[in-house]
Structure 1
């Protein structure tokens, strides 16, 4: 959507300039004929014989001459400590980002990138230096050092979660598959509020689809359930748009609270140096909105130069905010407050018709349309602190929510309610509702330990009728437990004709 480009470069981008051989003699001091002979006798492709548990006493000179014919093996520890860290008997130098590594061709060939170079322009060359101009800002000397070192050992080197995105960038550039797999496994097991966003961007950039999906799911589950300053700071504009647009976002309280979350996030977006607790952030944001940018709730802000960038994220929820707060105003007044080009006719129709449904009975949807559900369902959520019986209704300002929800350890019950009706009209009032109820439990690390959902279903309710929509008799529940709902009360399929 052209919202913001990620700081990391796409894997298909030119992040590294093709190296050119230096016009200097190789550091080994061997004659040209000797080097050609070695070149012909040594297979420069990756070989498992390089790393082994025995014969640590061989010099690199012996290894390079007999490694394939004699099958001499050296241990990973010896290769890493003496050859990589100390640079003993180096026969090639890599210069990048202002640093020089004294390395060895036979180990560099474990990198798909260097294997092509050494088999090509370097095969008959006497040059001993490769200079790399790296354009990817996510690659630094530390990540390059890690990837170079991994070529000298069979074991995975120690890597912290916060280092993973940069190491992944370097490993993808140099095409070291083993390190890419190591990064992928670490990412899958260490997704949290400090890593979810950086992992998501890295996985998107370097096409790790499984990791990207898991990060997005984690964010959908935790953005509103477990908010934090660090998490909000890490979410960029494009990602926030995708999250708030998803029907799978676990919304705490009600749909309009997503708008409040967005305003809090926007404050951090415009003030990235702010630090404090989540409670302080909420208080500070409210003061900031009223004093510095009190007009944020006006359409004029989102159409200004400063607010234009936020319009794709805010426009749908801004519409809901006006609808809920001005439910008693005329349709003409609400239409005047919302630019027509902001919303699809179907989306706008749902909310305006739902207001009219408070006064006039409507049957509701007859079929389940998944596309409409994904784009237009009302999202609600509630925290259940301990075992017991809980009954509530989700309301949004003056907007009536036509169902009452009851939770017990035996199940979830929905009951139709109506604010204004009398005798005969109440008895005859029938409503169809499309809904999805989801129960979720989290552990102390904010990972889901239990989840159960009804999937999308359609039920017909008569006035004051209640129906059990989820049974829990056989489930072992832990608390606190969260219950989330997606609801569609109106048939939007013919909205354009109404």
Structure 2
């Protein structure tokens, strides 16, 4: 076996008292090579100091003058060398560990640095007084290499963890209750989250209780799901996690709600056909063909009501359907796919029609107060991408509801402007002189791994604009901008019905 070396040295992790085997070894070394310190300034034989002389002679510096070597530092190096020797050479072993069809002849004093072994050797366990311990590994993430290197850490207090092997070491350290290695794994994972690792890191962080990594991965999903997806990423996201992501108002939606639906359709197809392989560009076509074939061979039952599709229903229920069916093309896609049951859609069509009438015919200008519980579940999610630091503007047609809102990026500022001039805003731009809307705007730039390098969030505010009026929402002057840059918005145009007094003419009973 080769020597165990490390890129990281943990401080303060040695036990208060060195194990007896280490002290005996150090005493033996001291007797074999008594300290002989030479007078300062005298040229010495330091350039070839042997192991037994470490800490007792001084090396010559590059200028030819003897350089002092701190005794404490040399003593630590000597102690580590002795500890490493004990691990590798099995000297004075008093316990044998058997795992992975291999044997390690070790020392209880060192093993007790692990909470797992300390409990085993000090309690009323069957293994407490046994000299040979057979260990079964219930965790499939633990392998022979990570187990061997972690045992070596108990002797040397140092370990090298390759980033691509971090889960094996996290699993081993969690079993052996070694907080220092768990912390090291956590630091490695923090800087290694990307499209290839995020699913693996998320679920293992959940399994091993590494809360900070779970949070980082969850935020990565919210920022990147809609813009950095590939087949492996979509396959790796389970039902519960996808349900959380689709329900969140923090999901970075670049486009509109129908794009969220399209993502779910591809995701569901990949879970139903896990062996499918093809390019990212061919994925949506393959999904459409799969569900078309089902529709042609079915009795008309929507896919999400079948035995195959029922498990995905709770995820699709998180879609904000009211922002899909108000656009003609999007509504046709939903009807043609026949994935979503009509019983879900009919109430949404009714509510959306009443909302449109309220926007145009009631005396309401829009929401007057912000209720976070209402906004989080019902705000419209949409966004755009800025490819360069150049003027750009856009609208979201189909979501007007009396609101001819244009979003402009110019001179490093983002401005809301109420103006339908020269813009395609659909067919029902409101003529009302003033409107209110609850909005939140986020500006996000991501590096090549998907980590946010710029994040600005306005929070939720009420915007009130007259026709042709504008409002500066975000000023990015002085910020170091990275493109592409994403602008994500949440809008709530119409408040929930709270009683007859708010619904104007619509609340009156018909006359007989």
* TM-score normalised by structure 1 residue count: 0.75
Whether the aligned pair in 2 keeps the contact of 1:295 and 1:301 (CA below 8 Å) is no
> 2:218 maps to which residue?
216
Q: Please say which of residues 90-99 and 241-250 is displaced more in the overlay.
A: 90-99
Q: Partners of 1:228 and 1:182 in 2: how far apart?
A: 29
2:87 aligned with 1:84, yes or no?
yes
The alignment status of 1:152 with 2:155, answered yes or no, reads yes
**Residue equivalent to 1:169:** 171
For residues 253-298 of structure 1, give each alpha carbon's deviation from its aligned partner in whole angstroms, at most 9, with x where no partner exists: 11221110111111222222233332232343333333456799x8
Cα deviation for residue 351 of structure 1 reads: 4.6
1:451 aligns with 2:455: yes
CA contact (8 A) 1:49 1:73 kept: no
For structure 1, the 5+ residue unaligned runs are 1-44, 60-70, 330-335
What does the per-residue CA deviation read over 1:50-90, in whole Å, with 9 as the maximum and x for residues that have no partner? Answer: 5999967959xxxxxxxxxxx9995435534x433454443
SS of the counterpart of 2:464?
Answer: strand
- Matched residue, 2:135: 132
CA shift for structure 1 position 110: 0.7
CA distance in 1 between partners of 2:396 and 2:137 (Å): 54
Change (3 A) 1:280 1:78: farther
- Where 1:387 maps in the other structure, the secondary structure is coil
Render the CA deviation track for 1:80-132: whole Å, top value 9, x for unaligned: 4x433454443212234544333221111011111012122479965211223
Aligned counterparts of 2:476 and 2:433: Cα–Cα separation in 1: 30
For residue 466 of structure 1, report the CA deviation from its aligned partner.
Answer: 2.3
**SS of match in other structure, 2:180:** helix
Between 1:437-446 and 1:217-226, the stretch displaced more is 437-446
In the TM superposition, residue 325 of structure 1 has moved relative to its aligned partner by: 4.3
2:409 pairs with one of 407, 410, 414: 407
**Cα separation, 2, equivalents of 1:328 and 1:191:** 37
What TM-score, normalized by structure 2, do the two folds share? 0.73
| Deviations 1:125-183, CA, capped at 9 Å, x for gaps | 6521122334333333343333322212222x222333222322221222111111111
Report deviation, 1:462. Answer: 2.2
Contact 1:359 1:420 (8 Å CA) reproduced: no
1:465 counterpart residue number: 469
Map 1:192-341 → 2, pairs under 5 A: 192-292=194-294, 300-317=302-319, 319-320=321-322, 321-322=324-325, 324-325=327-328, 338-339=342-343
Could you say what secondary structure the match of 1:316 adopts? coil
Structure 1 counterpart SS, 2:18? helix
User: Aligned partners of 2:149 and 2:163: how far apart in 1?
Assistant: 14
The answer as to whether partners of 1:94 and 1:130 remain within 8 angstroms in 2 is yes
Partner-residue secondary structure (3-state), 2:160: coil
Instruction: Pick the structure with greater CA Rg.
Output: 2
Equivalenced residue count is 430
CA separation of 1:438 and 1:96: change in aligned 2, threshold 3 A: same
Match of 1:118 in 2: 121
Query: Contact 2:413–2:477 (CA<8 Å) still a contact in 1?
Result: yes
Partner SS, residue 190 of structure 1: coil
Is the partner of 1:275 in helix, strand or coil? Answer: coil
SS in 2 for 1:339: helix
Q: Indicate if the aligned counterparts of 1:323 and 1:351 stay in contact, CA closer than 8 A.
A: yes
- Confirm or deny: 8 A CA contact 1:289 1:295 kept in the other structure: no
Q: CA–CA distance in 1 between the matches of 2:291 and 2:97?
A: 53
SS at match of 2:212: helix
Provide closer, same or farther for how the CA distance between residues 357 and 110 of structure 1 changes in structure 2, counting only shifts above 3 A: same
SS of equivalent to 2:97: strand
Contact between 2:304 and 2:341, CA under 8 Å: does it hold in 1?
no
Moved more, 472-481 or 365-374: 472-481
Q: Tell me, which stretches of 5 or more residues in structure 2 are unaligned?
A: 1-13, 30-74, 333-339, 504-512
**Cα distance in structure 2, aligned partners of 1:152 and 1:493:** 68
Deviates more, 1:253-262 or 1:100-109: 100-109
Tell me what 1:49 maps to. 18
- More RCO (CA 8 Å, sep 6+): 1
- Give yes or no for contact 2:394–2:407 (8 Å, CA) kept in 1: yes
State the distance in 1 between where 2:398 and 2:297 align. 21
C-alpha change, 1:166 and 1:350, in structure 2 (3 Å) is farther
